Structure 1
Amino acid sequence: MARVRYVKDVVKPAGGTGGVASASMRTSVRTFRAVYETDPEIVAALLPQPLVPGAEPQIFMQFAHVIMHVSDTHKIEIGATTVGVASEHEGTKGWYVLSMPMEGEFVVITGREYFGEPKKIGKVDFDKSGDKIKVAVTRNGIKFIEMEGTIGEAKGPADFTEHFFCYKGMPAITRKGGFDGPVFLTQLDWERKYTNMNKVTGTITLHESPYDPIIDVPVKRIVEMAYCEGGSITSGKILREVPAQWVEPFWHQRFDEPGTVGIEVPLESEKKVANA
């Protein structure tokens, strides 16, 4: 008998925990979260149909230090960053995932293929010393987001679910635009089980990067910041199929295209200044 592990016996149970792609894998998480306000016109421009802007023009940022307990004796530690845009779909409030750099090839691959998450490999710094916390994410040698702050008042434990929207599709093999097959809008449901949350007072700094142009989504006002410890359980579902043309102008975000010029978005705030 010869064993060939490139082929899986789908009849026999796999045994063990199922590995890093297992939906039931336990995680321990430390996070530095923030929500900031930006220009409403920019929020509207960032959202592919059928998503619509949320009640407030807000951006969600989360830096996480994650320990994945693959087995009782094997654990993997990674850093992860999530940037989301406040949005809604048919009454469900959530965040459209704009950017998701993180450490670890396998988490990037599984997130993109299972859920449609726009993950990319990046270096995530997560430094907590006493009541001081500082985080940053770097890609292509450019540090493009930094957050730092002072951890303050304890808010106690928290148990809640957050929703995130992504698009899942297979770009055309011709590489001339379009898709090979349908494109789906997905909803991710992240159950937060935090043993403690603390308010944070701090700052968000965005830097220019042609690969990750988050600086085009400026910080007008920080709404809230928090430091959390605990765990998360993630799951997802398909919401609907969408026409390819709805997402095609946004799909380049999943790749590094530093030559992308982008679009011009008129701002109401600029009009007020010009008319003053």
Structure 2
Amino acid sequence: MARVRYGARTEAEIAAARTASSRLPDIWSTGVVALWETDPDAVAAVLPPPLKPTGRPLVRVNISRVELPGHPLGAGSFAVAAAHDGVDGWYPLVMPMTQERALTGGREVFGEPKKLGEVTVERDGLVVRATLARHGIAFVEVRGAVDGELPLPEPARKTDFYFKFLPAVDGSGFDGDPVLVHCVRNERVRSLERVTGDVVLRESVYDPVADLPVHRLIGITIGEKTSDQRGRVVEQVDAQALLPYIHQRYDDPRQFLDAPPERGA
């Protein structure tokens, strides 16, 4: 009988896959990063406990083209500064990705708030434009012109905070206790340039980032970087305290919090 591909993998095949995934080469991306100060009350409003605001109400958007062999990937992140247990980091509100493959690992393993979307990074000479779009709306656009090289930063350790959970089978709450994940990346940069420009946030009911407006633009850069990624569960979190924030993860919160949509809706 021909092999049934949905059948069980052998122990040797499983071991080979694990070995291959542990030896990934450096994967470089070209990315546009914008950083700004926003309304401190808005930052505090989007942070589920036990995350807390830091000393500055910062927003960071990262829009990248990742050079995966044979499968270029568009990857984005819109995050606010946050702190937990003495660690300063970032809490992403939405992470658009252009491929399903990038969604599954991030959402199922780390709890990343990834969604399918359109991610573009364009450069024509000195002119730079990068966008995050979903449902036909470019809800973030970063645009400007390169105006000089910047010194390369030293390798840096950066932390993102994620909540990992499963919606309950009966539609009420969670199956099991949700957990808080610290995802640590060791980042190296091989090129970095300053961009003079602006950030445009457009209204979207699906991705309401316009609620975190640009009060003071700190800077825009374009560069090439690579990083590894390691995550660990740091604590279980209060399910009832997290529940009011779960709509951040879904385009239609009725998928999680309410009854199924009415027939024809």
TM-score (normalizing by structure 1): 0.85
Which letter maps to 2:160?
Answer: F
1:153 — aligned with what?
A: 148
Alignment pair present for 1:41 and 2:41: yes
Deviation at 1:9, TM superposition (A): 3.1
User: Which deviations, in whole Å up to 9, do the C-alpha atoms of 1:3-24 show, x marking residues without a partner?
Assistant: 23324435214476669x9354
Percent identity over the alignment? 35
Q: Is the CA contact (8 Å cut-off) linking 2:97 and 2:103 kept in structure 1?
A: yes
Distance 1:132 1:232 in 2: 26
Distance 1:188 1:136 in 2: 25
Unaligned ranges ≥5, structure 2: 255-265
2:32 — aligned with what?
A: 32
Which residue, 130, 150, 159 being the options, matches 1:163?
A: 159
1:79 — aligned with what?
A: 74
Distance 1:17 1:212 in 2: 36
Q: Is the CA contact (8 Å cut-off) linking 2:247 and 2:253 kept in structure 1?
A: no
Higher strand share: 1
Closer/same/farther in 2, CA of residues 128 and 15 from structure 1, 3 Å limit? farther
Which letter maps to 2:209?
Answer: I
Alignment pair present for 1:180 and 2:179: no
1:56 — aligned with what?
A: 56
Deviation at 1:171, TM superposition (A): 0.7
Deviation at 1:153, TM superposition (A): 2.5
Closer/same/farther in 2, CA of residues 200 and 35 from structure 1, 3 Å limit? same
Distance 1:133 1:40 in 2: 29
TM-score (normalizing by structure 2): 0.89
Range with bigger deviation, 101-110 or 9-18? 9-18
Which letter maps to 1:174?
Answer: D
Alignment pair present for 1:233 and 2:228: yes
Closer/same/farther in 2, CA of residues 23 and 86 from structure 1, 3 Å limit? farther
Closer/same/farther in 2, CA of residues 99 and 23 from structure 1, 3 Å limit? farther
1:22 — aligned with what?
A: 21
Distance 1:51 1:134 in 2: 32
Q: CA RMSD in A?
A: 2.0
Q: Is the CA contact (8 Å cut-off) linking 1:83 and 1:99 kept in structure 2?
A: yes
Deviation at 1:207, TM superposition (A): 0.6
Deviation at 1:205, TM superposition (A): 0.3
Q: Is the CA contact (8 Å cut-off) linking 1:145 and 1:206 kept in structure 2?
A: yes
1:256 — aligned with what?
A: 251
2:122 — aligned with what?
A: 127
Q: Is the CA contact (8 Å cut-off) linking 1:44 and 1:53 kept in structure 2?
A: yes
Distance 2:116 2:101 in 1: 10
Distance 1:234 1:47 in 2: 23
- What SS does structure 2 have at the residue aligned with 1:68? coil
